[in-house]
Amino acid sequence: MPIQVGQDSAKTRRKITVGSQSLSYYSIPAATEAGLGDFDRLPAALKVVLENLLRFEDGGFSVSTDDIKAFAEWGANGGKNPREIAYRPARVLMQDFTGVPAVVDLAAMRDGIKALGGDAQLINPLNPVDLVIDHSVMIDEFGNPRAFQMNVDREYERNIERYQFLKWGQKAFENFRVVPPGTGICHQVNLEYLAQVVWTDTDQNGEEVAYPDTLVGTDSHTTMVNGAAVLGWGVGGIEAEAAMLGQPISMLIPEVVGFKLTGKMVEGTTATDLVLRVVQMLREKGVVGKFVEFYGDGLDNVPLADRATIGNMAPEYGATCGFFPIDAETLRYMEQTGRDKDRIALVEAYAKENGMWRDTGYEPVYTDTLELDMGTVVPAISGPKRPQDHIALDAAGQAFGEYVKGQREGKDTSANSEIRWEGEGGQPEPKKIPGDEGHHKRGFVATEDGHYQLHDGSIVIASITSCTNTSNPYVMIGAGLVARKARELGLDRKPWVKTSLAPGSQVVSHYLEAAGLQDDLDAIGFNLVGYGCTTCIGNSGPLEEEISKAINDNDLIATSVLSGNRNFEGRISPDVRANYLASPPLVVAYALVGDMNVDITRDPIGQDKNGKDVYLKDIWPSQAEIAALVEKTVTREAFQSKYADVFKGDEKWQEVDTVDSETYDWPPQSTYVQNPPYFQNMSKEPGEIHDIDDARVLAVLGDMVTTDHISPAGSFKDTTPAGKYLVERQVPVREFNSYGSRRGNHEVMMRGTFANIRIRNEMLDGVEGGYTKGPDGSQMAIYDAAMAWQEQGKPLVIFGGEQYGAGSSRDWAAKGTALLGVKAVIAENFERIHRSNLVGMGVIPFEFTGGDTRKSLGLTGEESVSIKGLSDVKPLQEVAATITMGDGSTKEITLRCRIDTAVEIDYIKNGGVLHYVLRNLAQSAA
């Protein structure tokens, strides 16, 4: 299907000739010549958005001349002009955890539009959609040569229903491609193959048009591709579905924070150390809802793989994206990764013609700036529960000891946490490698090979995982060299450490094998376990039974070290309380040590074959060693070879059977895919926004409640509401899989909402897990209480603190909230994606004003809440709320309604964005 452009865009349309190619494009300098304003000093990231509006000006695309002039005003106003605009990304990227429910919604919309008298074929992606299956593989097997194949076999056994459904979607929908399991992680596949930096397509007039490659993705780490100057960010599945169906992304012209990089990294530091420092600085700065653009001459010393690592972590520093302009390094990376030579030439010519090229002295207008001399970056890790909790490596052992002491004394020394552990007191002895007799009286594990002691700080998971770092050959080669040097000295992982290597693409395996480093990694337990997200999204798999038992029987604070981007509570493993983000080389080093209490910068990490102490410096490779191997083994031919048949898949994928039909025949017995209730019995006309009257409180939650807390992705037990649902349907516990894999079944996901094992509802005293008070005042599961309140016809509200909804872009955090009967979430502030998702599901977000918080108001959960003035509410309007306390007294407060734009008012009136799109499609067809 050709791209559509606006009718009035001709005044800025120009021609560009590259080699034998002549293409049209929309020129920002031409817009200045046409008197629309001076755009020369706009940041490159904002020029990409501006070009989008130029291309779609008028022609029924809701883009006006005033929208374009607003960008010139943005620059004149010092980087601020929060005007609402309609933005249309070129394509959509999905992964399977979020992609399955999105395809479920599209299938349900086909049923829904037929019920409204429309044509099912109207429900088709108008923009290209790529779905990469990367979230399903789980680490059941590890540390041996069979691990990869056995994990793949189990993946297909667990997920065959989902794969059959996705294959149906690939046949049923136009513009929809699926990258099969075992290929790689969506963001790495996007960076290495799918992204083109400058996109080309034919418009409705038959002309070939060049324009910036842009996208939205149903995963928050879509931002990784901004390292290659491709503007993209994560949205919820519901917003992505709307974009697929031609609905623009409604957004305010963002503020852009400039992050100036100077100097260069020093010996012994990695891209991971740099990004952890960047995350810390930007969280302190406060960039939620803003673009961040990196600039400065220091970028000349930052390879694109490092830029992608920084771009990837944008959700962790809270920004919409972290963008790097096109420059010579962008072209070098495109060449290395096998992009077409003509495309590379086009990227250079287009960027220079349209003012998007970064050269020496590039310094546009920014809303605000900050600066980092990369020479000051030190080796570091982050944890134990937030990516921004930066710890210099030489302070890590001491910091962990202080954290444990705080836990044992009933207070948490990590930031923004109120967790309380009940357990034995005492701080673990520092700087001792466990295994020594008498080291610790708890956590004794007897095995066939001997015995050892586990204690607070024992590292039970060390995982090289996630697109964040496995996309970067410098840190991956570095990890292999650490393994090689350790192997040569006779060091090995500690026996209680579950080690794993899960690259983000097959190219990584190619260069590790070419360098001979995979053998070294295998020798110390880092065997290939699969190509996918694994540990980073909670698919770390079970620990050995004896280790799990020792941890839980003795209330130990076990730890994990992973090269991922997320370390939220309850995410990595139910047996692990403290999780640390680290570079791949450090993950290997910590596996050798096996103890978080050890200061690995000063203390021995083990003994060699002769009993001599070995230190980290003895096995750490130099930057020159790493660079030489990268140069030798990371080749253009490797990328071209591994991506030659990217959509074909292996024999297992080719053997997956599916039906060929316009609408999906929902199998009633399926526990993975069910027809959701959103569009059933839907009226042809939207309703109105109603006041909230006498709503009851489902939960009172603290600061930094993440989407992992709201809708966990990992495993669950048979005693949970979701587990009971499956047991009732004769699903054995071994086949439960994970919440993430069952996102196509609303019955499981409703029961899993607010069910994270580490969530803490302040309505209850010191209780962890998804519990609340029911209508009779007794403690029960949140799902059960919500259903009980629904039976009484009572609407529900959630109270929260700061940064409510941080983390993943998962739409089920909003879907589950809506299906539980929650009408409003009232918090101090919201993370960008989750706020949008709530609106997209018809749930209204509100923020406290005037210094009010859940704490200052003394909320206990016994209250009822009424919110007035919603029938004619305007974007960002303040409204009156009455809180009736448990003793019958009342408090009048003012809330800010976080319906941010005019179109979002329509979404709420319709019951959600998909209902809005569905009604519009049905009406336009009629």
**667-692 per-position pLDDT tens digit:** 999 999 999 999 988 998 999 999 99
Q: Torsion angle, CA of 863/868/871/874, rounded to 10 degrees?
A: -110
* pLDDT tens, position by position, 724-770: 999 999 999 988 988 988 999 999 999 999 999 889 999 999 899 99
Cβ burial, residue 116 (10 Å; 0-12/13-18/19+): middle
Q: Tell me the per-residue pLDDT of 369-416, one tens digit each, with 9 for 90 and over.
A: 999 999 999 999 999 998 889 999 999 999 999 999 988 887 554 433
Do 249 and 134 lie in one domain? The reply is: yes
Can you read off the two tokens belonging to residue 174? 């136009």
Look at residue 808 and tell me whether its pLDDT is greater than 80: no
Q: Is pLDDT of 313 > 80?
A: yes
Q: 464 with 471: CB under 8 angstroms?
A: no
Q: Output the pTM of the full model.
A: 0.85
Region of 124 on the Ramachandran plot (φ > 0 left; ψ -120 to 50 alpha; else beta):
beta
Please say which residue of 610, 637, 664 terminates a domain: 637
Please report, as a single letter, which amino acid is at residue 800: G
- Contacts of residue 471, Cβ cutoff 8 Å, sequence gap at least 6: 185, 187, 188, 191, 192, 224, 305, 308, 309, 312, 504, 505
Work out the number of other CB atoms within 10 angstroms of the CB of residue 665: 9
Q: How close are the terminal C-alpha atoms of the chain, in Å?
A: 22
For 3-41, the pLDDT digits (tens) are 777 666 678 999 999 998 899 999 999 999 999 999 999
Tell me, yes or no, whether 618 and 571 share the same domain.
yes
Give residue 442's pLDDT: 62
Residue 479 domain-assigned (yes or no): yes
The CA R_g of the chain, rounded to the nearest whole Å, is 27
Same domain, 781 and 896: yes
Does 881 reside within a domain? yes
Residues 719 and 812 in one domain: no
Question: Contact at 8 Å (CB) between 742 and 748?
Answer: yes
**pLDDT of residue 509 exceeding 50:** yes
Evaluate whether residue 18 is within a structural domain. no
Q: 788 and 774 in contact (C-beta within 8 Å)? A: yes
Whether 807 and 746 share a structural domain = no
- Sheet hosting strand 321-323, strand order edge to edge: 321-323, 291-295, 256-262, 368-373
Mean pLDDT (the chain, rounded): 91
Closest CA to 464 of 526, 384, 557: 526
In a domain, 330, yes or no: yes
Q: Is residue 28 situated within a structural domain?
A: no
For residue 388, how many other CB atoms are within 10 A of its CB?
Answer: 20
Residue 922 is predicted with a pLDDT of: 86
Mean pLDDT value across residues 636-650:
93
Report the CATH number at residue 793.
3.20.19.10
Q: Please report the pLDDT score of residue 9 as a whole number.
A: 67
- The band of 424, judged by pLDDT with boundaries at 50, 70 and 90, is very low
| 582 and 453 co-located in one domain | yes
- Domain span at 486: 380-418+426-637
Q: How many CB atoms lie within 10 A of CB 263?
A: 15
Asked whether residue 574 carries a pLDDT value surpassing 90, the answer given is no
At 506 the pLDDT is 92
- For the cut 50, the answer to whether the pLDDT of residue 59 exceeds it is yes
Report the domain count for the chain.
4
- Beta-strand pair 559-562/208-212: unpaired
Shared-domain flag, residues 734 and 783: no
- Of 692, 685, 686, give the one whose Cα is nearest residue 843: 692
474 and 369 in a common domain: no
Out of 385-389, 536-540, 646-650, 798-802, which region has the weakest mean confidence (pLDDT)? 536-540
Taking the CB of residue 259, how many other CB atoms lie within 10 A of it? 25
Quick one: tokens of 510? 């190619």
Instruction: For the chain, give the percent of residues with pLDDT over 70.
Output: 95
Answer whether residue 584 shows pLDDT above 70.
Answer: yes
Cα–Cα distance measured from residue 342 to residue 197, given in angstroms and rounded to the nearest whole number: 12
Phi, psi of 332 (to 5 degrees): -60, -40
CB 722 within 8 A of CB 752: yes
* HSE-up of residue 918 (Cα within 13 Å, Cβ side): 31
How confident is the model at residue 629, as a pLDDT?
96
What confidence score (pLDDT) does residue 434 get?
Answer: 37
Per-residue confidence (pLDDT) for residue 873, from 0 to 100: 95
Q: Check if the beta carbon of residue 434 is closer than 8 Å to that of residue 455.
A: yes
Instruction: Give yes or no for a cis peptide into 384 (omega within 30° of 0).
Output: yes
User: Residues 336, 406: one domain?
Assistant: no
> In terms of domains, do 476 and 400 share one?
yes
What HEC string does 513-568 produce?
A: HHCCHHHHHHHCCCCECCCCCHHHHCCCCCCCHHHHHHHHHCCCCCEEEECCCCCC
In a domain, 244, yes or no: yes
Q: Determine the Cα angle at 596 with ends 440 and 452, to 5°.
A: 35
What is residue 871's DSSP assignment?
T
Nearest to 754 by CA among 699, 695, 677: 699
Kindly state whether residues 743 and 812 are assigned to the same domain: no
Task: Of 722, 897, 906, 707, give the one whose Cα is nearest residue 814.
Answer: 707
The domain that contains 543 carries what CATH number? 3.30.499.10
**How far, in Å, CA of 160 to CA of 173, rounded?**
20
In this prediction, residues 885-910 reach a mean pLDDT of: 95
Check the CA dihedral 773-779-782-788 and report its sign: negative
In this prediction, residue 926 has a pLDDT band, given cuts at 50, 70 and 90, of low
Comparing C-alpha atoms, which of 318, 168, 175, 167 is closest to residue 243?
175
- Phi and psi at residue 264, in whole multiples of 5°? -150, 160
pLDDT digits (tens, 9 = 90+) for 816-864: 999 999 999 999 999 888 998 999 999 999 999 999 999 999 999 999 9
**DSSP character at residue 463:** E
Confirm whether 186 is domain-assigned. yes
Q: For residue 468, what pLDDT band results from cuts at 50, 70 and 90?
A: confident
Are residues 453 and 584 located together in one domain of the fold?
A: yes
Among 376, 410, 440, the domain-final residue is: 376
Provide the pLDDT for residue 445. 77
pLDDT in tens, 240-270: 888 888 888 888 999 999 999 999 999 999 9
In a domain, 679, yes or no: no
